[in-house]
Amino acid sequence: MSYTDVLSARLRRQQRQQLDTKYQADLDKQARERAEAEEDFRGGTRSLYVEAMEKLRDLPQQLAAAGLWGGSGEERGQAIRRDYISALRELEKAWDRKRQSLDDTELRTRTRWREEVEEWRLKDAIAAKLTSALTRHGAHRARVRLLPLAA
């Protein structure tokens, strides 16, 4: 193996390592975004629950202060529960949309990475064959310079 072969192989390994590093950084970023979105969702559901329970807890005092007794308390309690369930469903729908968006982004990243790796493998194979052919035919004496593979 000639000096040119060694340099060419080293360059190809570095390019592959850079590609893998970039891919891993993208996945790490997406994992952080997913964790933040999940925490936002959990925080939102917690807030909705606490707010609804506080309203239900304070309802008897509010009704008594307003001088209302009887069925109006039950109606208001049911309205608070309905509002809570409605808000929770909206939050869940928003979370489903966000999760779908995150899944789509991750799929695009993985697909792009597979395509880039396949392109890299093809370029690597071509470069290896070219280097081998040039070395066999003595082209290295003619000062042929191999350019780095374009990204």
Mind listing the pLDDT tens digit for each residue in 110-140?
A: 999 899 888 888 887 887 787 777 666 664 4
pTM summary value: 0.66
Question: What are the two backbone dihedrals, phi and then psi, of residue 98, each rounded to the nearest 5 degrees?
Answer: -65, -45
Average pLDDT over residues 28-46: 95
Please count the other Cβ atoms lying within 10 Å of the Cβ belonging to residue 134: 19
Model confidence at 150: pLDDT above 70: no
Give me the percent of the chain exceeding a pLDDT of 70: 82
Structure-token pair, residue 104: 């789509």
Record the tokens describing residue 151, joined without a space: 């990204």
